Amino acid sequence: MSLDSKSNSIEGVFYKINKKIEKKITAKYHRIKDWVMDPKGYFLIGIDRKNNLLRVGYCKFTKLGNDPVNDMVAEITGKTAIEIINTIIRENYISSLQHAGDMGIELCKAELALKYNIDYVQDKNLDIKI
């Protein structure tokens, strides 16, 4: 499948897709200006190499300001990003699409780091040596 061709359609795996592009958008994101805190809480992602698992702590904040209270109220474990993000959604621990997208990216990075023995630090790029 190629989106670059001059053809008016794309032969997909299951369907022929007609190209009727009405708008072309250049993607952009500013890590500080565009970020919005999910009111449901946040997640801490880690790798458990001993048990070959991804571990995700679900945290809620009950008070903001000078004396914030942050509580980890659940732990989700699994072997793949897809099973963890779907569990987070099913458990209603996430409320924004932006946050769900970010979690998908972070969990995918953690899964790759676990599989290929790469160091993982949440919200940092993976240091992949080729």
Q: Residue 110: phi, psi to the nearest 5?
A: -65, -40
- Percent of the residues in the chain that have a pLDDT greater than 90, as a whole number: 68
81 near 87, Cβ under 8 Å?
no
pLDDT confidence tier of residue 98, bands split at 50, 70 and 90: very high
Distances (CA, A) of 69 to 41, 59, 62, 74, 103: 12, 10, 5, 16, 22
pTM score, whole prediction: 0.83
Mean pLDDT in the chain?
Answer: 91
- For the chain, what are the domain ranges? 24-115
Ramachandran class of 91: left when φ > 0, alpha when ψ lies in -120 to 50, beta otherwise: alpha
Residue 84 has pLDDT above 90, yes or no: yes
Would you state the pLDDT for residue 128?
A: 87
Residue 8 has pLDDT above 90, yes or no: no
pLDDT confidence tier of residue 67, bands split at 50, 70 and 90: confident
Q: Any residues with CB less than 8 A from the CB of 5 and at least 6 apart, and which? A: none
